[in-house]
Amino acid sequence: MRQGFGFWVKEDRIILLRAPLEGTHISYITAHPEEFHLTREEIQRVYDTYQEELHKEGKAREELIKRVSQEGWIRVRHYLGSHDYWSIQTYDTVRERKYIVDFVEWCLKNTIDNDPIMTLNDELHLFSYKDESKEIYDYMSGGVERFLSEHNAQGRNTRKHPRIVGGNSRGRT
């Protein structure tokens, strides 16, 4: 399956990853460990535990993504192909719901290279590491539009709006 854009999101911060040019979520963690309150040594120890090469996508990657998600980081990837959908992984989707909603709204209002980031018909898959729950908002049942109608909170305009702070931020924000 082809990959589209990826993002790391934490509260009102967005880090854009343009696959394959700027790497994967795990390569961003290994290149910028301080942003995730990790050290290069901690990352290497996790890879050594699983006897995996640094930057590879395996068990070490999964452990590191779970670890940073516990600190509030949200992993987002747009998968392209015969099944086009957005994957949003958090430690706790209930705890991070407001930031997921903010991010989705930001994607609807902005473009990258003059192309829409997300549309109301796009499909969303939300996964929580905490309880291993999965929520699917498929395009046939309303996709992003249904997600927003179910989770759009009152008084939302009082919060900060997300902004790109890292990665390649070419595009309109």
| Domain spans in the chain, listed from the N-terminal domain onward | 2-24+75-167
**Farthest-apart Cα atoms in the chain, separation:** 49
Contact 65, 8 (CB under 8 A): no
On average, the pLDDT of the chain sits at 88
Q: What is the pTM of this model?
A: 0.87
Helix 59-70, helix 40-49: angle, nearest 10: 140
Contact 52, 58 (CB under 8 A): yes
Query: Phi/psi at 99 (nearest 5 deg)?
Result: -75, -30
- Flag whether pLDDT at 14 surpasses 90: yes
Which tens digits make up the pLDDT trace of 117-154?
Answer: 999 999 999 999 999 999 999 999 999 999 999 987 54
Residue 117 burial (C-beta neighbours within 10 Å; 0-12, 13-18, 19+): buried
Which tens digits make up the pLDDT trace of 58-83?
Answer: 999 999 999 999 999 999 999 998 88
Contact 132, 69 (CB under 8 A): no
> Could you give the CA distance from residue 71 to residue 37 in angstroms, rounded to a whole number?
9
Q: Which of 22, 47, 25, 45 is nearest to 36 (CA)?
A: 25
Q: What is the pLDDT of residue 149?
A: 93
- Flag whether pLDDT at 19 surpasses 80: no
Contact 127, 90 (CB under 8 A): yes
Peptide bond into 20 cis (omega under 30): yes
